């Protein structure tokens, strides 16, 4: 079907409203200039620090899918040693081995910190000091004090600081949150999150990760806070080594159950595994007085087969680049939008800190085999 030319005279046809949709084939609301935001005089210039998997993913999204942003440059100590084809595919942005050179570039309005966790706080502080806005992958730091220090610098510098809790931008999870907030299921009683990776990361990675709660559950902790609309007061935790003995030898668990208790009386249960053989299992269920909402996994296709072997359909998407493909684009759009409007980000540094505190309380609850109150963690720090 081909509808009439651009401005041919049938503006009041039933198809006109739909025509407006075609500008958004990704189903993602984009603030159209002239529509609900002032026309940007220029795109937001962005630099990426750290060009591993997640850095490249952001670079791709910024250069391809976020019209209000421009990828200015990339910084990574090893960037010149590898194949540069992927850089050319991004339209050949500038490349640096020293992130300070990137930070210094006048076109860089904001940076994405995608380097190893141990460097996050340092780079964040340097960027903030230079007045650059920051999108920081989680966690900001494994230490609470250092995280607070970075937040203080960012606050004083007046920059926009967004933390990489990408799942808040998943269409299904965001939908659950919105409907909970709108009261569709009334008072929230129990939140349940299942979050399982398809395969464990390298042991070297595990060793520096801060443990399963800080590395993996932290996303789920943030999501529970987001959905509950309330603060966590206490946690209980359990964990064991089921998938890979080497993870146990590295001092971590690979299977965990975490309970969160909220100020408003809601409870949350998170179950994690480092390895689900059927793929990336990311589900949420929220039970309230007026009903239950749940987000099931997304799948590559909607094809079903019926054979002698039964009724079959796709596994969930294999891992986060597939499952959270849209969420990754949407979180960048939200960040760029906040930068443009100098507005508070949808997920800020305080959210990162809150989730870190809870994750560390979980570490303690696992060790002590009892309920740990968040205030204890605060006091320990003070002591």
| Stretch 273-292 residues interacting with a second copy (CB under 8 A) | 273, 275-278, 281, 287, 289-292
Cα–Cα distance, 20 to 22 (Å, whole number):
6
52 or 131, CB closer to a second copy? Answer: 52
Measured from the CB of residue 379, what is the shortest distance to a second copy in angstroms?
18
Nearer to a second copy, 22 or 383 (CB): 22
Choose between 156 and 178: whose C-beta lies nearer to a second copy.
178
- Residue 169: closest CA among 228, 219, 221, 109: 219
Q: How many binding residues for a second copy (CB under 8 A)?
A: 135
One of 25, 41, 145, 382 touching a second copy (CB under 8 A): 25
End-to-end CA distance of the chain: 71
Cα angle: 349, vertex 238, 265; to 5 degrees: 60
Binding positions for a second copy, 27-46, rule CB under 8 A: 27, 32-34
Q: Which is nearer to a second copy, 31 or 155 (CB)?
A: 31
Cβ contact 218:353 at 8 Å: no
Nearer to a second copy, 86 or 131 (CB): 86
For a second copy, the closer CB: 19 or 344: 19
Per CB under 8 A, the segment of 154-162, 203-211, 333-341, 374-382 that binds a second copy is 203-211
Q: Determine the Cα–Cα distance for residues 189 and 199; give it in Å rounded to an integer.
A: 32
Taking CB under 8 A as the criterion, which residues in 359-378 touch a second copy? 369-371
Q: How far apart are CB 156 and a second copy at their closest, in Å?
A: 25
- Residue 89 or residue 379: which is nearer to a second copy going by CB? 89
Q: Please classify residue 143 by burial: count the beta carbons closer than 10 Å to its beta carbon, then call 0-12 exposed, 13-18 middle and 19+ buried.
A: middle
Point out which span in 9-17, 103-111, 155-163, 337-345 binds a second copy (CB under 8 A): 9-17
- Where in 104-143 is the site for a second copy (CB under 8 A)? 114-117, 120, 137-138
* Token reading at 282: 């990311």
Q: Which range of residues in 22-30, 223-231, 332-340, 356-364 is near a second copy by CB under 8 A?
A: 22-30
* 221 binds a second copy, rule: CB under 8 A: no
Q: Which of residues 48-87 bind a second copy (CB under 8 A)?
A: 50-57, 60-61, 64-65, 67, 76-79, 81-83, 85-86
Nearest to 97 by CA among 110, 113, 85, 81: 81
Q: CB of 320: closest distance to a second copy in angstroms? A: 8
* 301 or 382: CB nearest a second copy: 301
| Contact assessment for residue 103 and residue 114, using Cβ atoms and an 8 Å cutoff | no
**Residue ranges in 289-348 that form contacts with a second copy under rule CB under 8 A:** 289-319, 321-322, 325, 328-329
| Residue keyed to tokens 């002032």 | 38
Rounded least distance, CB 118 to a second copy, Å: 10
**Chain centre to alpha carbon of residue 159:** 19
Q: Which is nearer to a second copy, 40 or 155 (CB)?
A: 40
Least distance (Å) between residue 153 CB and a second copy: 20
Reduce the DSSP state of residue 293 to 3 states and report it: strand
Token code pair at residue 53: 């998997």
262 touches 232 (CB < 8 A)? yes
Residue 75's closest CA among 54, 53, 100? 100
Place of tokens 């919105």: 178
Q: Compare residues 306 and 382 and give the one whose CB is closer to a second copy.
A: 306
What would the x/- binding string for a second copy be over residues 232 to 271, using CB under 8 A?
----x-x-x-xx-----------x-x-x-x---x-x-x-x
Nearest to 132 by CA among 100, 180, 88, 174: 100
Spatial separation of the C-alpha atoms in residues 245 and 253, rounded to whole Å: 9
Beta carbons of 111 and 135 less than 8 angstroms apart = yes
Positions 138 through 197 that interact with a second copy (CB under 8 A): 138, 171-172, 175-176, 179, 184-185, 187, 189-190, 192, 194, 196
User: With left for phi above 0 and alpha for psi between -120 and 50, is residue 306 left, alpha or beta?
Assistant: beta
């Amino acid at each position: 079907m081909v509808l009439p030319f651009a401005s041919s005279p049938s503006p009041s046809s039933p198809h006109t409203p739909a025509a407006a949709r075609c500008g958004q084939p990704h189903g993602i609301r984009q603030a159209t200039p002239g529509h609900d935001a002032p026309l940007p005089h220029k795109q937001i210039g962005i630099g990426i620090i750290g060009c591993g998997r997640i850095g490249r993913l952001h670079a791709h999204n910024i250069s391809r899918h976020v019209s209000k942003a421009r990828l200015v440059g990339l910084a990574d100590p090893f960037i010149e040693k590898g194949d540069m084809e992927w850089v050319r595919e991004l339209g050949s942005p500038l490349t640096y081995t020293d992130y300070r050179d990137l930070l210094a570039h006048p076109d860089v309005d904001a940076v994405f910190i995608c380097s190893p966790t141990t460097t996050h706080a340092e780079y964040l502080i340097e960027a903030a000091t230079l007045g650059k806005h920051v999108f920081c992958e989680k966690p900001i730091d494994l230490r609470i004090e250092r995280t607070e220090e970075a937040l203080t610098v960012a606050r004083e510098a007046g920059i926009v600081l967004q933390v990489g809790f990408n799942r808040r931008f998943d269409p299904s999870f965001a939908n659950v949150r919105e409907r909970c907030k709108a009261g569709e299921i009334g008072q929230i009683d129990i939140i349940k999150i299942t979050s399982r990776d398809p395969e464990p990361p390298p042991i070297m990675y595990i060793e520096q990760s801060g443990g399963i709660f800080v590395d993996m559950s932290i996303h789920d902790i943030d999501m529970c806070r987001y959905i509950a609309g309330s603060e966590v007061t206490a946690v209980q935790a359990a964990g064991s080594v089921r998938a890979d003995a080497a993870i146990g030898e590295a001092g971590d668990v690979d299977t965990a159950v975490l309970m969160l208790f909220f100020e408003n009386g809601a409870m949350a249960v998170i179950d994690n595994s480092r390895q689900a053989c059927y793929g990336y299992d990311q589900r949420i269920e929220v039970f309230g007085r007026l009903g239950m909402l749940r987000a099931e996994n997304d799948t590559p296709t909607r094809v079903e087969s019926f054979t002698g072997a039964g009724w079959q359909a796709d596994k969930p998407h294999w891992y986060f680049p597939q499952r959270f493909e849209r969420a990754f684009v949407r979180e960048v759009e939200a960040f760029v939008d906040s930068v443009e409007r100098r507005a508070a980000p949808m997920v800020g540094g305080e959210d990162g800190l809150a989730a870190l505190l809870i994750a560390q309380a979980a570490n303690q609850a696992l060790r002590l085999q009892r309920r740990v109150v968040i205030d204890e963690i605060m006091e320990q720090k003070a002591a």
